[in-house]
Structures are given as structure tokens and as C-alpha cells.
Amino acid sequence: MVVLADSQATTPPAEEPQPQPRRQRAVRTVETPQMEDADCGAACLSIILTHHGRRVPLAELRDRCGVGRDGMTASGFARAAAGYGLKVTGRWIETSDLDMASRVPVPAVVFLDGRHYAVLEGVRRGRAWINDPAVGRLPLTPAEFATRANGPVLVATPTPEFEPGGERWPFARAVAQRIRPYAPMILAGALLGGVAAVPTLLASLTMRAVLNRVLILGDLAWRPALLAILVGGALLAALAGWAQQRIFATALAAMATRFSSRYLTALLRLPGEFFHRRHLSGLVNRTQMNDGLAIALSERVVLPAAAAVTVAGYGLFIGYLAPRLLVVMSLAMAAQIVLLNVVRRRAGPHQQRLLFEQLRRDSTAHSGLKMIESVKADGAERWLFASWARSAGRTLDAANALASATLGVMALSAAVGPAALAGLALVGAHDVAAGRIDLGTLLTAQLVGGAMLAPLGLLVGLGSEIQVTRVHVSVIDDALAATPHPARATVLAPDAPPEPAQPARLSGRIEFDRVSFGYDRHRPPLVRDISFTVEPGQWVALVGVSGSGKSTLARLAVGAAEPWSGAVLLDGRPRETYSRRTLAASIGYVEQQLRLFEGNLRDNLTLWDPTLPEERLRAALVDARIDRLVEQRGGLDHGAVNEHARNLSGGEQQRLELARALAADPPLLVLDEATSALDATTEFAVLEALRRRGVTCMFIAHRISTVRDADLILVLDRGEIVQRGTHAELIDTDGVYRRLATDGRSA
């Protein structure tokens, strides 16, 4: 990820020699994972703010820092920090040892590898400790630090205007919010876990009775009763275990369905700006994370709750039998809790790094296989495999680092059990010799103590799982916490208010009134002060070199992007004044990138809308010149579209997408190179069919033959309209259009 830094932060400042500052003590900061590659700077600001006592959501910081598709600048970081009462000053590190780094006030932000922001926590034990939002906490040797971080450092210090505050325990609140609807099931599972512990207690009491009554006193009359108790306890344990598993399965299914539907609903309500800053493959992977999160919460909440009830029951029982033995088990519990915290702290950064490396590895494989035809044509199989192997190697390194960080602690945890049992035996033997308890009580306590250690070991194993759940929650909440688009805030809402009465469709008139827009509000807009009007039935062509803003205007026209200033008016009114139903029926859009999915032809044509009449679908297929192909493939219901539409040519895909846009019979069409893959004859037939429909058309095209018949041609250059007129008017005028036409290209 390339993060743009200001020129002032990339060259050493010329300053007068200053006295050497004193060495700074290293600090430990909270770990905040970045959601996307471009979020590292905002995540670093979150880490520093949290260290000083101010907790701010990452989504808010991303907007404040002006994170765009290319990252953010140092000035954007400083501007955002100043808004929270932090003063940012720049320093320069250019020494190969850690002496200068040890004198930097920490935490500070360093620029790693010339492209990535991370937090410097200080120098400790001869190493520079870095809190990297991408991979977690890691130590750098002097040589590694000199190579990777030799350059600018941003120091953020609180000013009198700084105010601590913000939401505490966001992870705990997020988990509590998710499991609150399932609290009865969790409580029932916990109680059943306690019920499942009853047979162990019964078996312990039975052993005590056998030792005291049968073996010592020779009382054989107890045998039938003891046998009945054991059988009844076993049946009770089986029934409780079965009921608990049913609760687990029910909770898992309910959570997975609710989490996934809630996440997808949130995505559908978000504005296009949210998707401009993120990789779509990452958003898809997060959908799958909801299933993993459901498994984690159903098992990692219900099981610990049941374990807590079980441990409490066992502890009370041992305390009743022999209070001194309870002290031994309490020490074992304390040791396991300490080890749980150690595992959590050690596993955290490695789990985070492992998750992100797995996502990168899978993304590399997905991207390579998606373009497998180009890979084979270029003979690049070897390089694709090498790229994937590097990602897989980093994933394996992360997994090994996680194992190395936790195996020792897990081994200690495993040793706690035998040590506790040995302690029970020693203390119990002393008490037996002193006459405080009998032998049956000692053996009973040992049996219950052994059963008590099993759920304690489970709690220690949850230490690393907590970190995985924390990362999953943070990346999923990135979408859930985002502000929805005002016009889409009630999408899929069961209690959404009825839409006001409005016309079924618009006339097709669209007006751009001094519109400016860009993808990064801290940079100049990509299109500036755009004004033009398209009357009903009129055809307007947008031409210009690549990057001039044509596709951006198309997105603004259909509402995929919102203007920074100015307005896009439909029939003289802002888009926000119309219902979603009216807008969907009035605007058709064909993107430059084709969007077909695996399924049948009908679903691809209608986008699962069963209300579209057959005659309208038939007319759309005919006008797009795709009707014969549909018949040859078995009709709309039986014709199949393979993954990525590999069984359709580029021209067939374009015509099917065009038919999709025509299926709603919209009065306004926005076409972004929608006929670029068609031959001239087919393109002419399709355009003639569109003209017969009388639609308003705003289109982008490469071919002069396509744009020359437009009623109005708008020529864009660097985000501005530099020429407008008909083909005849523009071709006779020296300017951008004539140069494009002379070169044989119009876009």
C-alpha cells in the first residue's frame, strides 16, 4: 500500500543544532487493527489517542484524516490530530543505531518501508518496539529499524485543549450487544453445564460411600442404592449433554443467520464512498467471518458460562468436604487465570497478523485464478505461483510465530493440573494423618478436583480465541458502524415508513448544476464546476482522454456518488426528494466493468425481481439483440450463466447487461462504454433500437461513429468541460475533440 507523505515529511529539515533530549521510557499501547491497507495512518492516530485517554472509532478517524484510495498525507494526520487536541511535530531519524529513536517522545508515528505508518513504542532491551496496525506488535533489531524506519517521525503530544473520553470496553459492548438476544439460551446452556457436573459429584460421593461403608465397615446393603445412583447420574449427564448440544446448535444457527443478514443489510444501506475506499474481496471475506463469529460466540460464550457454573459447583463441594483442599484448588485457578491473560497478550498480535496474511494469501489466489486466461496466455503461471507462495510463506511464518508465542504458556497450563492434584494429595494426606478428614473424603476431593481442572484448562485455551474474535468483531463493525446513505437508511427495514405518493417514473431530464466531486476530500476534486442539462429524449456523449472524469460523471448521474458541491437534478428536483422506487424505475445504468453472476439468464436479467412483466423482458432482449442467444441457450429459466460469465463472450455479456438496464423501461439511460465489445453492425442496430424507445441517453464511448450522432457532445479534460457542441461544430474547431478524432479515439 502506497501512503502519500508530504514533501516536508520526506526530507530532513534544516535546523540549528539542538541539545540532545533525554532518553524516553518505552510504553505499551493498545493494538488497533487497520481495516484496509490505506487505514494504517488512521489506526495509528487511534492508538495514540487511546494511549492518552481518548477513544475514537476508527471510522470517524478515517474521515477526519481524509483517508482516500491512495492512503493519507502527513498533513492530513496532523490536521486530524489537532482536531482532538494533539500537537504534531516532525522529526527525522537518520542514524543506524537506536540512540536517536530512544530519545523520541513516545508513542510516535514512524514511516515504515517508505509506504506504511506504524507506532513507535520506544526502545527496550536493545530493540525498537513497533505497534503495526497491519501485523500487531513486533520488535525490530537496530539493523532492521535503520533499514525500515530511517526517516520521518511524527510526534503527537496533548495540548491544554485535549479532552480524554470516549467509549470504554468497545469489544465487550459489541459482544454483549450480539449475544443479548440469546441470553436465555446462554443461561440455559450454563445451567445444563452445571447439571452435567452433578453425575461427577454423585460418583465422588459414591466412591466415598464405597470406601467408608463397604470396604471399611463391610456394609454390603449399600450396593443396589449406589448402583442406582451411578446409573441415574449417567442418564442425567447424557440428557443434560444432549440438551446442551441442542442449545449450541440452535444458538449457532440463529447467530449465523442474524449476523450475516445484519451485515449484508448494512452494506446495502451504505453510500458508494464506503466501497470506493475498500477492496470488494475483503468485504466478501468479512461476510464469511460472520459465520466464524457465530461459532466463536456460541461456543466461546456458552461453554465458558457452563464452565464457570461447573467450577463454582465443584469448588463449593470441595470447600464443604475439606476447606484446606479448596485453598489448593483456588491457587490452581489463580495460576490458570494468570496464564489465560498471558496467552491473550502474547497471541493477540500474532493472531491479528495471521488473519491478515491469510486474507492476502487468499486474495492473491482469487485474483490469479480470476484472470487465469491472461496468466496462461502470458506464460505467467510460474510468477503467479511464486507470488502466492510468498503470501503462503508469510502466512506460515505468522502461524509459526503464534505457536512459538503460546506453546510454552500452554505447556505450563497443562502442568498446572498434575501439580494441583499432587498438591491435593500432599495436603490431603497430611489432613488424613492429622485426623481432619478420612481417606474417602480425600479420594473424593481428588476426583472432583480433577474434574474441576478440565474447564479451567478450557478457559486458558480461550485466550488466543478471544483475540481472533476481537479482530473479527472490529472488521465487521467497520461496516456496521458506518453511516448509511440517507436515501437507503430504510432498505430492508421491516418497519420502514411507506413511501410518499410520487410519479411512477420521471421524464428523463437530468441537470448538473455546478457539480464538484472527488474521492478524497483533502485533495482537489476530480471534476470541478460541471454544469449541463440533458432534456428528455436527448442524447449526450461524454468524451475525453482516460482519467478526464467521464466515468465519475456517470456515477454522479446514477447516484453511485454524491457531489461535494452543487447538485444533480432530476426533472428539476434533487434526487433525495424522490423515492427509491421512482428512481429505480427511471434510471438504467450499464457500467464499464461487466457485472454478471453465476445463475440462470432470468436472474441476471431481472436481478431477482419477479414483478417485471414478460413482455417487457422480451422487448429488452430484442432491443439489446440478445433474444436469439437466449432462445439458443434454452430460454431465460434454463439458460445458464457460469461463474464470471465465462460461457458468454464479451459482446454477449454487454448485450445482456444492456437488456438488464432496459428491462425496467427507464426514461433515462447512462451507458459507460456499454457497446465497446460489439461489432459496428450490432452496435448500430442496438443504438437504433434505443432511439426508437425515445429514451434520454447519457453515454461514454470510444468510437467516433458512436458519438458523432449525439445531440450534444461534452469534451472533458482534467475534470472540466472544455468544449461542448455537436460533432460538426467541434470537428471544425481546433481543440481536444478534433485531436481525439484525428487520432481515431474519443476516450
395 with 357: CB under 8 angstroms?
A: yes
- 85-94, 349-358, 674-683: which is most confident: 674-683
Which residue shows C-alpha cell 472488521?
475
Whether residue 80 is predicted with pLDDT greater than 50 in this model: the reply is yes
Whether residue 316 is predicted with pLDDT greater than 80 in this model: the reply is yes
| CB-side neighbour CA atoms (13 Å) of 192 | 20
What whole-number distance in Å separates Cα of residue 345 and Cα of residue 348?
Answer: 5
Whether residue 220 is predicted with pLDDT greater than 60 in this model: the reply is no
Mean pLDDT of 699-724: 90
Whether residue 219 is predicted with pLDDT greater than 60 in this model: the reply is no
Whether residue 8 is predicted with pLDDT greater than 50 in this model: the reply is no
Whether residue 51 is predicted with pLDDT greater than 70 in this model: the reply is yes
pLDDT tens for each residue of 194-206: 777 777 777 777 7
pLDDT tens for each residue of 109-166: 998 887 789 999 988 888 889 998 877 788 888 888 888 886 788 999 999 988 888 7
Rounded-to-5 percentages of helix, strand, coil across the chain: 60, 15, 30
Which residue shows C-alpha cell 464538484?
516
What whole-number distance in Å separates Cα of residue 234 and Cα of residue 229?
Answer: 9
- 102-106, 242-246, 585-589: which is most confident: 585-589
Q: What does the mean pLDDT of the chain come to?
A: 81
Amino acid letter for position 8: Q
CA proximity to 528, closest of 542, 512, 517, 539: 517
The percentage of the chain sitting over the pLDDT mark of 90, rounded to a whole number, equals: 22
Band of pLDDT at residue 349, cut at 50, 70 and 90:
low
What whole-number distance in Å separates Cα of residue 685 and Cα of residue 665?
Answer: 18
Mean pLDDT of 289-305: 75
421 with 446: CB under 8 angstroms?
A: yes
Residue 407's CB: how many other CB atoms inside 10 A?
10
* CB proximity list for 609: less than 8 A, separation 6 or greater: none
Identify the weakest region by mean pLDDT among 71-85, 368-382, 420-434, 702-716: 368-382
Domains of the chain: 7-168 (3.90.70.10), 171-480 (1.20.1560.10), 510-743 (3.40.50.300)
- Classify residue 240 by burial, with Cβ atoms within 10 Å: 0-12, 13-18, 19+: buried
What whole-number distance in Å separates Cα of residue 705 and Cα of residue 698?
Answer: 16
What backbone torsions phi and psi does residue 131 show, to the nearest 5 degrees? -105, 100
Quick one: cell of 53?
Answer: 485517554
Identify the weakest region by mean pLDDT among 470-484, 643-657, 680-694: 470-484
Whether residue 18 is predicted with pLDDT greater than 90 in this model: the reply is no
How much is the pLDDT for 234? 75
What whole-number distance in Å separates Cα of residue 513 and Cα of residue 103?
Answer: 55
Identify the weakest region by mean pLDDT among 78-87, 98-107, 167-176, 395-404: 167-176
Band of pLDDT at residue 57, cut at 50, 70 and 90:
confident
What whole-number distance in Å separates Cα of residue 344 and Cα of residue 97?
Answer: 32
Quick one: cell of 245?
Answer: 448440544
Q: Which residue has the higher pLDDT, 615 or 378?
A: 615
| CB-side neighbour CA atoms (13 Å) of 536 | 12
318 with 448: CB under 8 angstroms?
A: yes
What whole-number distance in Å separates Cα of residue 658 and Cα of residue 432?
Answer: 88
Query: How much is the pTM?
Result: 0.69
Question: DSSP states of 442-502 as a string?
Answer: HHHHHHHHHHHHHHHHHHHHHHHHHHHHHHHHHHHHHHHTSPPPGGGTTTT-TTPPPPPP-
CA distances from 747 to 653, 685, 707, 739 (A): 21, 22, 11, 11
Question: DSSP states of 66-115 as a string?
Answer: T-BTTB--HHHHHHHHHHTTEEEEEEE---SSSHHHHTS-SSEEEEETTT
What whole-number distance in Å separates Cα of residue 501 and Cα of residue 701?
Answer: 37
Mean pLDDT of 603-625: 92
Whether residue 4 is predicted with pLDDT greater than 50 in this model: the reply is no
Whether residue 372 is predicted with pLDDT greater than 50 in this model: the reply is yes
3-state SS assignment for residue 125: coil
Q: Which residue has the higher pLDDT, 387 or 93?
A: 387
CA of residue 595 relative to chain centroid, distance: 22
pLDDT tens for each residue of 541-562: 999 988 899 999 999 999 888 8
Q: Can you point out the beta strands (E) in 613-746? A: 640-641, 668-672, 696-700, 712-717, 720-725
Q: Which residue has the higher pLDDT, 214 or 394?
A: 394
CA distances from 388 to 286, 351, 366, 400 (A): 21, 20, 10, 18
Amino acid letter for position 177: Q
622 with 655: CB under 8 angstroms?
A: no
What whole-number distance in Å separates Cα of residue 743 and Cα of residue 747?
Answer: 11
Band of pLDDT at residue 643, cut at 50, 70 and 90:
confident
Which uninterrupted H or E stretch holds 733?
A: none
How much is the pLDDT for 9? 44
* CB proximity list for 284: less than 8 A, separation 6 or greater: none
φ/ψ region of 744 (left if φ > 0, alpha if ψ in -120 to 50, else beta) reads left
How much is the pLDDT for 255? 85
Calculate helix-pair angle for 280-321, 183-209, nearest 10 degrees. Answer: 30
What whole-number distance in Å separates Cα of residue 355 and Cα of residue 352?
Answer: 5
Calculate helix-pair angle for 74-83, 40-51, nearest 10 degrees. Answer: 30
Mean pLDDT of 386-410: 83
Mean pLDDT of 214-228: 63
Quick one: cell of 194?
Answer: 452445571
3-state SS assignment for residue 52: coil
What whole-number distance in Å separates Cα of residue 225 and Cα of residue 231?
Answer: 10
Identify the weakest region by mean pLDDT among 213-222, 379-388, 480-489: 213-222
The percentage of the chain sitting over the pLDDT mark of 70, rounded to a whole number, equals: 86
How much is the pLDDT for 270? 82
CA proximity to 427, closest of 450, 447, 445: 445
How much is the pLDDT for 214? 58
456 with 334: CB under 8 angstroms?
A: no
Mean pLDDT of 461-488: 73
677 with 648: CB under 8 angstroms?
A: no
CA of residue 360 relative to chain centroid, distance: 13
Query: In terms of residues, how long is the chain?
Result: 747
Q: Which residue has the higher pLDDT, 653 or 364?
A: 653
Mean pLDDT of 75-99: 82
pLDDT tens for each residue of 260-278: 888 888 888 887 777 766 6
* CB proximity list for 37: less than 8 A, separation 6 or greater: 1, 71, 134
**Radius of gyration for the alpha carbons in the chain, expressed in angstroms and rounded:** 34
352 with 467: CB under 8 angstroms?
A: yes
What whole-number distance in Å separates Cα of residue 645 and Cα of residue 173?
Answer: 43
Mean pLDDT of 99-108: 84
What whole-number distance in Å separates Cα of residue 495 and Cα of residue 492?
Answer: 9
CA distances from 605 to 226, 468, 588, 616, 618 (A): 72, 40, 13, 11, 11
How much is the pLDDT for 493? 58
CA distances from 27 to 116, 131, 207, 338, 729 (A): 21, 11, 55, 22, 69
How much is the pLDDT for 746? 44
Band of pLDDT at residue 14, cut at 50, 70 and 90:
very low
CA distances from 184 to 250, 251, 257, 368, 534 (A): 12, 10, 18, 47, 59
Residue 607's CB: how many other CB atoms inside 10 A?
12
What backbone torsions phi and psi does residue 111 show, to the nearest 5 degrees? -110, 100
